[in-house]
Amino acid sequence: MDLALARYFDALHERRGEALEIAKRSAAFRNGDTPVANDCHANVDRWIIENPGHAAVRGWLIVSDMGLCCMYAAHSVVAAPDGVLFDITPLPSGYTFRFLPHAGSDADFPGSEKRWSNITWPMPM
């Protein structure tokens, strides 16, 4: 891992207290299909194409907070035209995950790379 990426995850971890609880929303695409579990980026990308005025928000679910370190999973949610965030991707029932928006552009979102889609930070030694 390069230094820039380590700094990114250090900053993410420092901001974990800012994580939001995002409302789940049942959704269907124009053809009646429903969002697919474990495919949040594609679900959101399709949603914003079919729903002008909506935007993708990339970020991280805090899957587990173990005090000194957290398990993060790359995730995408939708921003409605009024700015309200909602999640259309099915997640395991009974779980409440907090969402920490990515600070930066989609182009510099490391969660788009498979190898960084799930990470425990700081990394255990």
* Gap between the Cα atoms of 18 and 112, Å rounded: 22
> What local confidence, expressed as pLDDT, does residue 43 receive?
98
3-state secondary structure of 68: coil
pLDDT digits (tens, 9 = 90+) for 8-51: 999 999 999 999 999 999 999 999 999 999 999 999 999 999 99
Q: Is the peptide bond before 101 cis (omega within 30 degrees of 0)?
A: no
Contact predicate 41/112, CB 8 Å: yes
pLDDT at 92 over 90: no
Q: Which sequence spans correspond to the domains of the chain?
A: 3-121
Phi, psi of 35 (to 5 degrees): -55, 150
* Gap between the Cα atoms of 85 and 87, Å rounded: 7
* Gap between the Cα atoms of 15 and 30, Å rounded: 36
Please give the residue that has the higher pLDDT: either 122 or 125: 122
Structure tokens that stand for 85 in this block = 């965030």
